[in-house]
Amino acid sequence: MATKPSVIISAFADEAANYRTALEQMTALAAVGLRNYSPRFIDVAGDGTIEHVVDLAADKLERLKEYHQEYGISVTSIGARVGKIKLLDVDDGSHNKYVDPQEYLDGEVAATIRCAKALNTKLIRGFSFYHPQGTKPEDHLQQAADRVRQIVEACAAEGLVYGLEIEPNLVGETGPLLAELAKLVDHPNMVLIFDGGNVAAQNKNPVQVYEEYKATVPYLGWMHVKDYSIDPDLVWTGAVDEERLKNFVPANAGDAGHELVFRDLREQLPEIEARLEKLGLPGFYLETEPHLKGGGQFGGFSGPDGMGVAVRALCSCLDYAGIDYDLRSFADIRALRGF
């Protein structure tokens, strides 16, 4: 019997934690059977101080690593905010900030790289910059590629891989635009992150989502998994009002067409994994980021119950598509107890 291709299920665990504490996040991951996560917002000390993981002091990073060891958790990627700033220093009426490229490399990018190395991950999630409101993203592809390439080169110098996520309102807001950025950057240490929910949120149906996914396949590094039901009352203007995004649903219940995407992914996985292996990566991650109780520009929330619903929905889609995955078993429990 042929072996089914497999994926590694991961999560943004801050979505599962009511108070964002590290203890809640580790407990939620273990309870739903996951061994991997991407840290983002976290209260390490449990004193009510919620910080982005990139901003954690060295002692808190060490404490977080102790939690990882205690709970049998590995870090998939740094859930960074790199690239979620203005591409150009123009007043376009948005609240997004602009940072000088060199200042950004020396500050946010360098801090993110230090965080990735401290937490023993090779992956950094990032974005493709906000083009000025009212302009077309395709008119800014080369400018965005030039800035992204600087970030990728800084990551590569430390043996890290930069994952560029598809995201509404940024230069890389569609699959074809993201693929064009990958062509322009032209660096093996940059991969693409597909997220069907981020496409469906642009009022696109499952067939359109699938077509955008296909554009990213030659550069695909991992996927985020969320789903979205198209808002029938929304008058589409070409930009997403992030404050309006209220229709996030489990992966088998929306318009992102995960079952269609995953059936194709099953066939693509051997070639994708061969490419990832050359980068020193352990496999292909599917990372739940469900936003079931709300989502916005820099994160979302699902609660512990929502994360459980999201992971079960993802597993249902994978079962249907014929893709294998590995959740915690009794053997994991025995290993953690030292048996």
Q: What percent of the chain has pLDDT over 90?
A: 87
Instruction: Give mean pLDDT, residues 87-96.
Output: 94
pLDDT at 321: 97
Q: How far is CA 181 from the centre of its chain?
A: 17
Residue type, 222: W
pLDDT tens profile 266-290: 999 999 999 999 999 999 999 999 9
Phi, psi dihedral angles at 20 (to 5 degrees) = 65, 15
Tokens describing residue 18: 């009511």
pLDDT at 292: 94
Question: Quick check: 239 pLDDT over 90?
Answer: no
pLDDT tens profile 240-258: 666 667 789 999 999 999 9
pLDDT at 334: 79
CB count within 10 Å of CB 44 equals: 25
pLDDT at 243: 61
Q: Kindly report the average pLDDT of the chain as a whole number.
A: 94
Contact 84, 298 (CB under 8 A): yes
Instruction: Give mean pLDDT, residues 207-218.
Output: 98
Contact 174, 212 (CB under 8 A): yes
Distance CA 30, CA 73 (A): 8
Per-residue pLDDT band at 335 (split at 50, 70, 90): confident
Instruction: Using alpha carbons only, give the angle 96, 99, 100 rounded to the nearest 5 degrees.
Output: 150
Tokens describing residue 285: 């991650």
Q: Which CATH architecture has domain 8-336?
A: Alpha-Beta Barrel (3.20)
Question: Quick check: 298 pLDDT over 80?
Answer: no
pLDDT tens profile 181-202: 999 999 999 999 999 999 999 9
Residue 294 or residue 67, greater confidence: 67
Per-residue pLDDT band at 14 (split at 50, 70, 90): very high
Domain map (residue ranges) of the chain: 8-336
